[in-house]
Amino acid sequence: QSALTQPASVSGSPGQSITISCTGTSSDVGGYNYVSWYQQHPGKAPKLMIYDVSNRPSGVSNRFSGSKSGNTASLTISGLQAEDEADYYCSSYTSSSTLAVFGTGTKVTVL
Amino acid sequence: EVQLVESGGGLVQPGGSLRLSCAASGFTFSSYWMSWVRQAPGKGLEWVANIKQDGSEKYYVDSVKGRFTISRDNAKNSLYLQMNSLRAEDTAVYYCAREVEAGVVDYWGQGTLVTVSS
């Protein structure tokens, strides 16, 4: 049950776009379209931002978008805002385990 | 409004036991897989266990197998996590979570802190 690999940190200026990667294997990210993304502000519970690779739940800004290529999924935040500063985690179904697996997490900083 | 409210966290000595509870409201509890997810201080998220709607299937992360037991009472709209033989590495905030599909949580509780220390 190894965690998916994410960059430790990503930063950008207000209004810019940033992309966070989430790398797994053919047993998880690459094999299924069951990748989700969560946003977590300090001291708060995570919030679902993207599910099934690219679907946004109701109420999530369309500045957030998801995609996948091979064994790597990506979350793009466009028009970066101060409120986007948070930790982001990817998650994927995996055939290697009976439970899903999270990514290592990425801290997004708005400069 | 969907609400998940955890309780039962606290300070416990290594080798001790603790039982976490999660009270669910605002949705048909018996229709959803439910999970416990934890987060050690300053660390990432980790799926601990989940349980099928009727309790017939339960899954655990390797590190808690044989020590933790997940259960539910659909009549009381409640989810539980019995934690035995606790270790320092079990110290974390434990979140109750509603799964809408494999690995996808759409609602989270506020979390309850479990600290294992002598």
Residue of A nearest to B36 (CA): A99
Q: Which residues, given as ranges, of chain A have pLDDT below 70?
A: 1
**Paired strand residues for B35:** B50, B97
Q: Is B102 on the interface with A (CB under 8 A)?
A: yes
B58 residue type, one letter? K
Q: DSSP E strands: which ranges in chain B? A: 3-7, 10-12, 18-25, 33-39, 45-51, 58-60, 68-73, 78-83, 92-101, 104-108, 112-116
Q: Are A65 and A52 in contact (CB under 8 A)?
A: no
Report the gap between the CA of B50 and the closest CA in chain A (Å). 8
pLDDT in tens, chain B (118 residues): 999 999 999 999 999 999 999 999 999 999 999 999 999 999 999 999 999 999 999 999 999 999 999 999 999 999 999 999 999 999 999 999 999 988 899 999 999 999 999 9
Please name the residues in contact with B71: beta carbons below 8 A apart, sequence gap of 6 or more.
Answer: B51, B55, B58, B79, B80, B82
> DSSP letters along A53-110, please?
TTBPPTTS-TTEEEEEETTEEEEEE-S--GGG-EEEEEEE--TTSSS-EEB--EEEEE
Q: Which residue in A46, A51, A102 is closest to B108 by CB distance?
A: A46
Q: Does the distance separating the beta carbons of B105 and A46 come in below 8 Å? A: yes
CA angle B53, A48, B56 (to 5 degrees): 15
| pLDDT at B103 (0 to 100) | 85
Q: Which of residues 53-92 of B touch A (CB under 8 A)?
A: 59-62
| pLDDT at A2 (0 to 100) | 81
- For residue B14, the SS3 value is coil
What pairing do the DSSP bridges indicate for beta strands B92-101 and B112-116? antiparallel
| pLDDT at A96 (0 to 100) | 80
| pLDDT at A50 (0 to 100) | 97
| pLDDT at A1 (0 to 100) | 64
